Amino acid sequence: MAGKPKLHYSNGRGKMESIRWLLATAGVEFEEQFIEKKEDLEKLRNDGYLLFQQVPMVEIDGMKMVQTRAIGSYIAAKYNLYGKDLKERAWIDMYVEGTTDLMGMIMYLPFQPADTKEKNLALIIERATTRYFPVYEKALKDHGQDYLVGNKLSWADIHLLEAILMAEECKPDILSAFPLLQAFKGRTSNIPTIKKFLQPGSQRKPPTDEKTVAMVKKIY
């Protein structure tokens, strides 16, 4: 038994990517078992490994954890990335739910019918620049600190950086009206564990391409 967390998912970002980010930032090494075909998923199901027959599934501390938010919350709390008290956790949760909504839109984009892509991309950019990024820009402006909550790195910051980079993949200058987020991006990207994760050869997965879409559709 390795003792390292073991991630079960397809070889792509999807719902597992936020968990990879969180573990990597916390400096936790992890293993990955990739689901490549439907039979792999069926085996996990038949072995009784998946509480609700779904992945992501993370084997950690003797548990077979499922449900992205549950997994994220557990890791955040275990590695002190969840604030110092209930109120800080509330703020972190609110911020993370917002970036989850935004990244959810981006995640599904490659799976939308081709004729809706342009409209959906425009909606993502609109939401990012008018609903989500202004909130985080203001939060940083209001307290003038480096991190979103409690003057300390938390899950909210990691999730925000992930969302920023994903949004930039949609529109490279998407942060043009958000100077504090630009500074935040620069700063947070240089945190040693994050810097390492952003380098080639890490377990970070590339943007979802057509090949991944085809594979995912076949599995699920």
Strand 57-60 vs strand 6-10: parallel, antiparallel, or unpaired?
antiparallel
We find the least distance from the C-beta atom of residue 195 to other proteins, in angstroms, to be 28
We find the least distance from the C-beta atom of residue 83 to other proteins, in angstroms, to be 11
Helix ranges restricted to H, the chain: 17-25, 38-46, 68-78, 86-108, 117-127, 133-143, 155-170, 179-189, 192-197, 210-219
| Residue 78 near other proteins by CB under 8 A | yes
Which residue, 50, 46, 62, is CA-closest to 1?
62
Q: Is 32 helix (H, G, I), strand (E, B) or coil?
A: strand
Q: At 133, list the tokens.
A: 């990024």
Stretch near other proteins under the rule CB under 8 A, chosen from 23-31, 95-103, 168-176, 180-188: 95-103
Per-position x/- string for 99-128, each x denoting binding to other proteins as judged by CB under 8 A, each - no binding: --x---------------------------
- Report 31-60 residues binding other proteins (CB under 8 A): 51-53
Which CB atom, from 82 or from 184, has the smaller least distance to other proteins? 82
CB contact at 8 A, 35 and 10: yes
| Residue 73 near other proteins by CB under 8 A | yes
- Report 177-196 residues binding other proteins (CB under 8 A): none
CA–CA distance, 94 with 156 (Å, rounded to integer): 9
Binding residues vs other proteins (CB under 8 A): 51-53, 61, 63, 65-70, 73-74, 77-78, 86-87, 89-91, 93-94, 96-98, 101, 131-132, 135
